[in-house]
A and B are shown apart, each in its own frame.
Chain A
Amino acid sequence: MSNILAIANKELRSYFNSPIAYAVIGFFAFAFGFMFWVFLRGFVAESMRMSMNQMGAGGAVNINQMMLRPLVMQISVIVLFMLPMVTMRTYAEEKRSGTIELLLTAPLTDVQIILGKFLGAISLYAAMLLVTVPSVLVLFAYGNPDWQPVATSYLGLFLLGSSFIAFGLFISSLTQNQIIAGVLTFVLLLMLLLVGWLKDFVTSPWATTAVSAVSVFEHFDDFTKGVLDTKHIAYYVSVITFGLFLTARSVDGERWRG
């Protein structure tokens, strides 16, 4: 465990010693802030209109449904754009600079190295999500949204992003070039997003199953509604495990090929 933490700590420090952490957190905060503002304006205008129409009788516009849910859906796409930048260097840069030799000849197992890198990356991602919390708290200060959908949305975003990171680690372990790793990760994640759009077109049951198994966004939807379903949590945990397993295979295979 201390080995995993040592690696995770080193990863995290290297994010913050380079511009990556600041660029990613900064841009994510900006994108979130901008979208938050746009959706909030839309929501305020809409609720004003509603209250004018019904002379304040109804007033039952749901901020969770009308503002937070679409906002979280957009944010999940922003996450898709940002995380390849976080994972692209994890293995590729170590291989290019030769520091991988230090890690592979230290008394560490491959799994410890992979989990350390994974932990480092999801910690940075957690920091990105944390930056958005104050904006959401403002809604609680001036309105009364349900807290459950907010909490499950954060959990969903975290699981979704962690799956992206697991795949990003795998792709980074395939190449020495971090730019290639970043682009390929981005392409893969985009494919996973697009595949979800197929679900309205496929009819045969096995195809539906296949699409829903591959589409990582599909399983995200329930989280935004405030539904906490173990089925979806189990799905993300297995996707993450699969990604990390592929990374382990790739690192080991590299070792044999030399």
Chain B
Amino acid sequence: MIEVQHLTKQYGRVTAVDDVTFRVDKGEILGFLGPNGAGKTTTMRILTGYMPATAGKAVISGFDIFDQPLEAKRRIGYLPETPPLYPDMTVRDYLLFVGRIRGVASKALRAQVDTAMEKARVADVATRFCGKLSKGYKQRVGLAQAILHNPEVLILDEPTAGLDPKQIMETRDLIKGLAGSHTIILSTHILPEVSQTCERVVIINKGKVVAIDTPEALTERIQGNQTIFVQVDAPTGVDVAGALGGVPGVSRVTPVDQRGTLTSFEIDCHKGEDRRREVARLVVSSDWGLVELRPSRLSLEEIFLQLTTDEAKSAAPDAAA
């Protein structure tokens, strides 16, 4: 559905996007993750035909965005970083205008504007001027504008920026609801958003793709060993760490926190070995209190930091040389 091959964009001598390749299948939600200035917005702007790439190509629903821009653009709904609203137009007039330039048939126009307003929950501000809306409403009118012509492909640049937590949840649900019938790329720097909404993640840093995978697979890939988090209530003076280290299959025990008699540990096991049962048995048979025991997974946040800082480390010698 979306095919991106060796996409490169240079601004003068600065390379904003460097040989980016990925594809998104029909009905899929792809998360585009990266720190600010990683090239997310530039990539999206190239995909939507706002600017041409220096090299490489992008194909939307079979139409090359550079060779057949009108055909490709007809199939894209795009929410830029700042919602592109005209402050002196009312929400309804604005959406009618967007529908017209996107080629919505005039008979269907009003109905489609109403549907989009309902889906994006902006029907209550239909007669208000765009310039007078709160940030959250502006963002949602921007979303209404993107889904108005029922495009096959949705490209959303930080769709939840500026929304309050309730609106963020609603917007995520809306986006999930749109998947299936639409193919979606969304960018964000809020990590939980990706694990909650997206089926696959592209992590991009300094213009380069660092990783492409499902959020789960990424977690597993980074984390070679199985890690257990355990919190134990033991009398002071007892060597809990030593006892835990004695459990077979445990490679390392790291104390993380201590509050009174409560002590927390991260326990690394050998690859592929889950030692939760043995750990629980040890704690209970030693007559300590087992307060908490859970598999500790690296959050996407940590993966992200790991990937992007590794990249920084390996890039540094190049820069020096």
Contact = CB atoms under 8 A, between A and B. Distances in A.
A196 to B, nearest CB: 37
A97 B51 contact: no
Interface in A204-256: 255-256
| Central interface residue in A13, A106, A108, by most chain B CB within 10 Å | A106
A102 interface: yes
A106 B101 CA distance: 7
Nearest to B90: A17
Contact of B50 (A18, A107, A255): A255
A104 B70 CA distance: 10
Nearest to B70: A107
B282 to A, nearest CB: 60
A3 B70 CA distance: 12
A258 B9 contact: yes
B102 A98 contact: no
Interface string A162-192: 0000000000000000000000000000000
Nearest to A20: B88
Interface stretch (B71-79, B160-168, B293-301, B305-313): B71-79
A98 B52 contact: no
Interface residues of A, number: 27
Contacts of A100: 84
B20 to A, nearest CB: 16
A165 to B, nearest CB: 20
A106 B73 contact: yes
A256 B53 CA distance: 8
A48 interface: no
B271 interface: no
Contacts, number: 78
A14 to B, nearest CB: 6
B85 A17 contact: no
A6 B99 CA distance: 10
A103 interface: yes
Contacts of B133: none
A107 B103 CA distance: 8
Contact of A107 (B9, B74, B87, B97): B74
Nearest to A104: B50
B145 interface: yes
Given A103-B101, A256-B52, A97 B70 contact: no
Interface residues of B, number: 33
A249 B46 CA distance: 19
Interface in B8-28: 9, 11
A97 B84 contact: yes
A102 B95 CA distance: 12
B86 interface: yes
A200 interface: no
Nearest to B99: A6
Contact of B84 (A101, A107, A109): A101
B98 A102 contact: yes
A13 B93 contact: yes
Given A105-B76, A107-B74, A6 B84 contact: no
B49 A7 contact: no
Given A102-B98, A102-B145, A105-B50, A97 B87 contact: yes
A2 interface: yes
B89 interface: yes
Contacts of B71: 107
Contact of B89 (A14, A98, A105): A14
A106 B145 CA distance: 11
A99 interface: yes
B82 interface: yes
Contacts of B52: 255-256
Contacts of A9: 97
A253 B78 CA distance: 22
A10 interface: yes
Nearest to B73: A107
B51 A98 contact: no
Interface string A1-43: 0110011011001100110000000000000000000000000
22 contacts: A2-B100, A6-B97, A6-B101, A97-B82, A97-B84, A99-B86, A102-B98, A104-B49, A104-B50, A105-B48, A106-B102, A107-B70, A107-B71, A107-B73, A107-B74, A107-B101, A108-B101, A255-B50, A257-B11, A258-B9, A258-B42, A258-B45
6 nearest A-B pairs in the assembled complex, by CB-CB distance: A102-B84, A6-B100, A17-B88, A107-B73, A105-B48, A99-B84
